[in-house]
Every structure is written in C-alpha cells, then in structure tokens.
A and B are shown apart, each in its own frame.
Chain A
C-alpha cells in the first residue's frame, strides 16, 4: 500500500513538472513552424 502511494505521488509530481513543459514546447514549435514553414 505504501509502495503504491509512493509510486502515485512520484507519478503525480513527474507529470506535474513534465506536462506543462511539454505543452509549452509543443506550442512554441507549432507557432514557429507556422511562422517559418520551411525551416
């Protein structure tokens, strides 16, 4: 039970840190590609 709780917490913190960063990079790439489609 404790192991499951620790795993869940780790997963939560991981996604909490990585998720928004991935979203930001994704939007940045999309916008840059739209601005300069051939680069």
Chain B
C-alpha cells in the first residue's frame, strides 16, 4: 500500500501549512494548499508504507521546506510588498517545478502553452469550435498547469455544450411533465340546457295542420 496524504507525517505537515497560511488571503491560501497537496500526491506516488516509506516521506517534506518558509515565500502580507527572500535572487521554492531555461519568468511559456491560450481566445473567433478544441488539447498536454486549472479551463471551454445539454434535459423534462399532466384531455364545456326548456324535437314548434283553424 502506497503512502498518501493521510500518512501521519503528511497530515501533520498539511495541518501546519494551513495554520501558517492563515495570514494569506483566502483565495491565495486555497491555491497554495491545493498546489502543495497536489505536489505531495505526485511526489509520494509509488512510495510504499514502512520504514523506508517513512524515510522517503521525510525526505519529500524536507525538500519542500517548512510550512513557514513556504508561506513566507508565497508572500505573507496579501500580495503587497514582496518578502525579503523574494527580492533577493533566491532559488525558487522547491515545491514548484523549476522550468528549464535562464529566465524563469518567460520559460513557462512554451509553444504548447502559447497555442493553448491563443487557440482558446483568438482561435475561437478565427476557427470556431476547432480553435478551442485544439487549445484544450494543448492545455492537457502541457505540464505547466495543475490538474485543477486544466479542469476549470475545460469546464469554461465546454460551457456551450454543457449549457446545450442542460437545456435539452430541461426541455425533455418539461415535455414529459406536460405529457403526464395532459393525460386528462381538456374537454370542451358542454352547454348545460335544462331539459324543461330544451325542445324535444322540431315538431314541438311546428303547428300540426289538423290543429290549425282557419279564421
């Protein structure tokens, strides 16, 4: 059985991280914790339980750094002034994949990422349907985005088919409800005429020839 996020060391680490990250804005805190969890899941995949597994877990957590260091690197203070460690040309946090290339700011934008973003935005107008599909394919091929980001982008990219499916389901449901209630077909109101006033036959109004008395 492999080690997962429920391992006591990992759970304790995540708990300390969440506590330390309390100083960050909510969205940033959520992103940071989600990113660390995803990194740990990937890093611990294939690590077996036991003494060796525990050593491997400790090594992974050591490489990550302490929760306080991670939060400090993320920028305590709500994105205002960057911390001193960020001003210095320090090494990037170990939990972030360091892309190859001399300039980390630009290196994340490879051709796949550019095609993905351009396909989704401009491609949507130049090549409707095809552009976004190519863009989404590139999004899933790229390793620069987390799984969560890919899922969010895919949901947005497929918003139209999702809306179409929801509309179709709603219409189907509405027709079924209508058909169900329409089983008792409305009948045209029958004129209520009292039998006392209803003529039994046209003969009632036709004077019999024998009764007609000539003046």
Q: Could you tell me if B159 and A27 are in contact, using CB atoms closer than 8 angstroms?
A: no
Flag if B86 contacts A24 (CB, 8 Å): no
- Enumerate chain B residues within 8 angstroms of A19, measured Cβ to Cβ: 132, 156-160
Which residues from A are CB-within-8-Å of B154? Answer: 23
Number of residues in B with C-beta < 8 Å to the partner?
45
> A37: which B residues are within 8 A, CB to CB?
74-75, 86
**What does DSSP make chain A's interface, helix, strand, loop or mixed?**
helix
When chains A and B are docked, how far (Å) is the Cα of A17 from the Cα of B158?
10
A contact residues, total (Cβ < 8 Å): 26
Question: Are B96's CB and A20's CB within 8 A?
Answer: no
Question: Which residues of chain B are within 8 angstroms of A13 by Cβ–Cβ distance?
Answer: 160
Q: Which residue of A lies closest to B108 (CB)?
A: A35
A12 to B107 Cα, complex, angstroms: 37
Contact, CB under 8 Å: B167 / A11? yes
A19 to B107, CA, bound (A): 27
A3 at the interface (CB under 8 A from B): no
Q: CB within 8 Å of B: which residues of A?
A: 4, 8, 11-13, 15-28, 30-31, 34-38
**Given A26-B156, A27-B153, A37-B75, 6 other A-B contacts at CB below 8 A?**
A19-B159, A20-B131, A24-B116, A24-B121, A27-B149, A35-B108
CB-defined A-B contacts under 8 Å, sample of 6:
A23-B153, A26-B149, A26-B156, A31-B109, A34-B108, A36-B105
